[in-house]
Structure 1
Amino acid sequence: MDCIFCKILNGDIPSKKVFENDNFIAILDAFPANEGHTLVIPKKHFTNIFEIDEETLKEGYSIARNVANSIRKSLNIENINILQNNGALAGQTVNHFHIHIIPRLENDTVTMKSIPVTIDSKKMEQIALSIKDNM
Structure 2
Amino acid sequence: MRSRRLKNEINVVPYIDVMLVLLVIFMVTAPMMTTASIDVPSVGKAAQPPVEALQVIVRADRTLALLAPGKSERPLSRRELVQEIASAQRRNPEQAVLIAGDRNVKYQAVLEVMDDLQQQQVKRIGLLVQPSDR
Same-fold call, TM cutoff 0.5: no
In the superposition, the TM-score normalised over structure 1's length comes to 0.28
Higher helix share: 2
Larger C-alpha radius of gyration, 1 or 2? 2
